[in-house]
């Protein structure tokens, strides 16, 4: 998402939320070893779906930088495959999320979401004032 910030519809929080629920056992999507086992054990009837939960709260997971018409989102992303071009980066949002010793900081995505919401509110107020005039 850092390399292609406009290419992904959902944000980092979305991926972290999915990863968390792989092991949480709160949803049935990741229980058992196969779809066949899930059907035999009637997991779908006895548990909730993570996807329904994510869909209900999808506004929390939207990437404010996503643009469907952007060149990065057309076709397939082609990542460099030669060993010298691989750039591994530690995923702080994932692996340091429970670290209490780190300074609390707001992610860039969260900051952009807040700016976007504030801009929307100001535009709505401006429209209301213009209507009054």
pLDDT tens readout for residues 29-43: 888 899 899 899 998
Q: What is the pLDDT of residue 100?
A: 63
Is residue 34 included in any domain, yes or no? yes
How many domains does the chain contain in total?
Answer: 2
3-state secondary structure of 107: coil
Is residue 86 included in any domain, yes or no? no
Same domain for 70 and 8: yes
Is residue 88 included in any domain, yes or no? no
Same domain for 123 and 58: no
Q: What is the mean pLDDT of residues 61-79?
A: 74
Same domain for 11 and 69: yes
Same domain for 56 and 121: no
Q: What is the pLDDT of residue 56?
A: 93
Torsion angle, alpha carbons of 94, 80, 70, 6, to 10: 10
Cβ proximity of 86 and 80 under 8 Å: yes
**Residue 111: which pLDDT band, with cuts at 50, 70 and 90?**
confident
Same domain for 113 and 70: no
More confident residue, 5 or 78: 5
Q: What is the pLDDT of residue 105?
A: 60
Residue 125 in tokens: 């107020």
Q: What is the pLDDT of residue 51?
A: 92
Same domain for 9 and 67: yes
Is residue 112 included in any domain, yes or no? yes
Taking 80 as the threshold, does the pLDDT of residue 60 lie above it?
yes
**6 burial level (CB within 10 Å; 0-12, 13-18, 19+):** middle
Is residue 67 included in any domain, yes or no? yes
CA 83, CA 78: separation in Å to the nearest integer?
15
Q: What is the pLDDT of residue 67?
A: 81
Same domain for 50 and 109: no
- Domain interval for residue 115: 101-132
Taking 90 as the threshold, does the pLDDT of residue 1 lie above it?
no
Is residue 21 included in any domain, yes or no? yes
Taking only the tens place, the pLDDT of each residue in 77-110 is: 666 666 666 666 777 777 777 766 655 566 667 7
3-state secondary structure of 13: helix
Same domain for 111 and 59: no
Q: Which residues of 74-102 are buried (b: 16+ CB within 10 A; e: fewer)?
A: eeeeeeeeeeeeeeeeeeeeeeeeeeeee
């Amino acid at each position: 998402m850092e390399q292609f910030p406009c290419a992904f519809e959902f944000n980092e929080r979305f991926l972290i939320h999915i990863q968390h629920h792989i092991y949480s056992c709160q949803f049935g999507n990741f229980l058992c070893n196969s779809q066949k086992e899930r059907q035999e054990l009637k997991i779908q009837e006895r548990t909730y779906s993570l996807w329904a939960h994510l869909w209900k709260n999808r506004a929390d997971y939207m990437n404010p930088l996503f643009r469907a018409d952007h060149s990065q989102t057309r076709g397939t992303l082609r990542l460099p495959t030669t060993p010298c071009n691989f750039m591994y980066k530690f995923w702080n949002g994932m692996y340091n999320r429970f670290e209490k010793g780190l300074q609390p900081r707001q992610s860039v995505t969260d900051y952009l979401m807040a700016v976007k919401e504030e801009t929307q509110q100001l535009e709505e107020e401006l429209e209301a004032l213009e209507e009054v005039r």
